[in-house]
Amino acid sequence: MPSQQVPITPSVLRWAIDQSGIDADDLAQRLGVSTDELAAWGHGSSSPTKGQFTRLAHVLKRPTALFFLEKPPAHGSNDVSLRAAFGSLRRELTPEERNLIRYARGVQTLTQWTGIDLSSQSIPHSDFDADPEEVAGLLRSKLGVKPFQQRAWATASLAFDSWRRALEAVGVIVLQLDLGPTAIRGFSIVAQKAPLIAVNTSYSHYVRIFTAFHEVAHLITDSSSACVGFAAPIRNVNRYERWCERFAASFLLPATNVRSFLEQHRPHHDPPGLDEVTALSKSFLVSARAAAMRLIDLKLVDSSLYARVDAHWKPYERDDRRGGRAPLTPLKRLRQVGRRVATGVRSGVDKGQITTVDALRYLDLTLSEYEDFSELAAAGP
C-alpha cells in the first residue's frame, strides 16, 4: 500500500525554503530524498509522505500548520538587513541566524497579542543625519537612569539586567540568544508596539550592553538590522553602523561624566591609555572598545588607542560561564525572553488573550516545559 501524501501548499514550501537559507541539495540530503523530488514538491507535481513531511517541518523549524496556508506569510526575516561594520559584506544571513530572527519575531508577535503594556512610552525617533550625542541624551532622559546609578551596579551582569528592565519599561523587548561566536552580534526588529532587540550571548555582558544600545539606535532610526563586527573609528566603516556605535558610546558614557572621571583618575593629566580604558570600562560597566571609542570621539586621545584596545581585549571572553549542566529549557527560555515578557505571556494565557497552543508554538516549548516556565515567571526575581 503506497504511503499517504500530505497536500502541502507548494508556494509556501518554496517560501519556507528560501527563508531558511538552506541550499536545496543540502535540504534534500537532510530529508533523505533526491533534489528532483524536493523540487517536485515545490512545483506541486508531487507531495511528501507523512514521515517526510514531519522531517521537513523539523529541519525548516516551522510549525506544520504553516505548510497548509493558502499563500506565504506577508513578511519574514528578510526585511532585517545584514550590516557589516566595515569592509564589504561577503555573506548572507546563515540558516541558524534566520531561524533565531524568526523565533524572535514569534516572541514579538506573541507579546503583541498578550496586551502587555509595552508601548506606554516611546523611544525617540531620529535619522542618521542627527547628532547621535543629542539623541542619546534624549533616551537617557526617557529611561531615567543617572550615571551615578549606573556606576553603582556591582557587576556587568547586574548592569545588563538593569538596562534590560529600563528598556522594557519604555516598550522594548530585549532578548538574549546564543548565536555563536562567529555569528551576528545582535539584531533589531522595528515595530510600533513591542520593538525588539536581541544580543548574542557568546559575548561578555560588557559587550552585550554596548550591543543592546547599538541595536536600540537601529530602532530609533527605523532600520531593522542584523549587525556584524565593530565599527572602529580608525576604519573606513559603514556610515550607519558608525552612527549607531557613536550613539551607544555617547549614551553609556556621557561626556561630562567621562571628563570628570578622568580628572580624578588620570595622574598628571597624561594622555589616556589602556589603564584609563580599563578604569572607565569597570566603572561605567561598558566594553573596553566602547570606552576607547568614546575617548577618541571626545578628542581626548588619538585614534591609535583603539587598535591597542582591539589587540588587548577579546570580545568573546564571556563573564558568565558556569560549571555543571546547561539550564533546563524552561529556565533557558526565561533568560532568553526576560521576565517582563514571560509574565506577560503567562497573564495572556490566564486571561484568554492567547491560547496555550500559541505560547507553546511561539516559545518553542512542550506543554510540561511551559508549565515550568509559567511557574518560574510567577516566582519573581
Q: What would the pLDDT profile of 275-315 be if each residue is shown by its tens digit? A: 889 999 999 999 998 999 999 999 998 888 888 888 877 66
Query: What domains, with CATH codes, occur in the chain?
Result: 10-74 (1.10.260.40), 81-312 (no CATH), 329-379 (no CATH)
Q: Cell numbers at residue 305, please? A: 588607542
Q: Where are the alpha helices (DSSP H) in 253-338?
A: 255-265, 274-284, 288-297, 304-312, 329-337
Question: What span, in angstroms and rounded, lies between the C-alpha atoms of 164 and 160?
Answer: 6
The pLDDT score that the predictor gives to residue 269 is: 67
pTM attached to this predicted model: 0.81
User: Dihedral (C-alpha) 374, 375, 378, 379: value to the nearest 10 degrees?
Assistant: -150
129 confidence band (pLDDT: 50, 70, 90): very high
Comparing 117-126, 142-151, 183-192, the range with the smallest average pLDDT is 117-126
pLDDT tens digit string along 347-369? Answer: 999 988 888 988 998 898 999 99
141 confidence band (pLDDT: 50, 70, 90): very high
pLDDT tens digit string along 197-253? Answer: 999 999 999 999 999 999 999 999 999 999 987 766 656 567 888 899 999 999 999
Q: Cβ contacts of residue 337 below 8 Å, gap of 6+?
A: 107, 173, 175, 345, 363
121 confidence band (pLDDT: 50, 70, 90): low
77 confidence band (pLDDT: 50, 70, 90): very low
Comparison of pLDDT for 78 and 226, the residue scoring more: 226
The pLDDT score that the predictor gives to residue 57 is: 83
Q: Do 254 and 147 form a contact (C-beta atoms < 8 A)? A: yes
Mean pLDDT across 170-188: 93
In which residue are the cell numbers 506606554 written? Answer: 120
Out of 1-5, 13-17, 21-25, 100-104, the most confident range is 100-104
Q: Which residues pair with 81 in a beta bridge?
A: 225
73 confidence band (pLDDT: 50, 70, 90): confident
Q: Do 175 and 197 form a contact (C-beta atoms < 8 A)? A: yes
Task: Quote the strand ranges of 131-236, DSSP E.
Answer: 173-177, 186-189, 196-200, 225-228
Position 328 pLDDT exceeds 60? yes
Question: What span, in angstroms and rounded, lies between the C-alpha atoms of 242 and 360?
Answer: 39
Q: What is the mean pLDDT of the chain?
A: 86
Which among 272, 186, 261, 196 has a CA at the least distance from the CA of 230? 186
Mean pLDDT across 104-131: 82
Position 127 pLDDT exceeds 70? yes
The pLDDT score that the predictor gives to residue 268 is: 64
